Amino acid sequence: MGSNSRMTSFQRREQLIGVGRSLFASKGFESVSVEEIAAHAKVSKPIVYEHFGGKEGLYAVVVDREMRSLSETLFRALEDPSDAHPRQIVERTALALLTYIEENAEGFQVLVRDSPTDTSASFSSLWGDISLRVEDVLRIWFTRQNMPTEGVEYYAQMLVGMTVFTGQYWAMQQVMGKEELAALIVNLAWNGLAHMKAHPQLRFEDELYECGDGGNIEVVAAFGNAEYPDAKEIKRMEKAERKAAKLAEKEAKLEAKEAAREAKLLEKEAKLRAANA
């Protein structure tokens, strides 16, 4: 076995973890055997059992490492310094996830593949924790914008779900760069957040009814209790929405400018206190 047999116990353990990660990522937990792990590591089966007690133990270590790495990455991105604009948090969180996927392709694949129930539950728990952190950030943002916080937990789930599932799709076929994809995610997420209505309502209510000509189902769209709006009315509504969007964008820029100004003042005050200390 050459140099492979002269590894320290720590080196051997790390080697087996690397081999296991690659196999679990490419084949899934159920399709990988201890024999296969040992063969790829060029060791005997007892060595695998000695370090991990079996396939399940090795898999648990691989998943635990990836979970800790991913959670640390995302929670760092979700830190909410007083001078950070909410859009900045959305940007760096999306980019952080995509960077993790890019740099830990096998590890991420292990997490999202079919896995034992307890591991799947842990992965879901991670996204639940991330969603709670996003919820905290959104609640602060909504309060600052005088928006009702009712339903904020659902908005948090939407943002996390959108980003995670987009990341999974991108991991399978990376046809664009991570910065470009992050910009797409932010475009949808932030523009939605920046132009949110305090009391959203469905504009069109679809009503299904059965015709009397053999049971065919037709769809009739109604606008509230009124008739379907004509083209002129739709254009008027779209114009009003564009105007509101521009106003919201202007307000967001002013708020960002004010936040930057306050941050500079705080920095200046901190320097003065340090100089007088």
Only one residue has tokens 């998943």, namely 63
pLDDT in tens, 153-210: 888 888 888 888 898 889 888 789 999 999 999 888 888 777 767 777 776 655 444 4
Structural domain containing residue 270? 205-276
Q: What is the CATH number of the domain that holds 41?
A: 1.10.357.10
Q: Are residues 116 and 219 in the same domain?
A: no
Residues 70 and 145 in one domain: yes
Co-location of 254 and 137 in the same domain = no
* 148 and 227 belong to one structural domain: no
Which sign, positive or negative, has the C-alpha torsion 222, 227, 230, 233?
A: negative
- pTM for this structure? 0.61
Q: Do 223 and 171 have their domain in common?
A: no
Examine the domain organization and report whether 179 and 225 are in the same domain: no
When divided into structural domains, the chain yields a total of 2
116 plus 160 within the same structural domain = yes
pLDDT in tens, 53-95: 999 999 999 998 988 888 888 888 877 655 667 788 888 888 9
Render 110-153 in DSSP notation, one character per residue.
HHHS---HHHHHHHHHHHHHHHHHHHHHHHHHHHHTT---TTHH
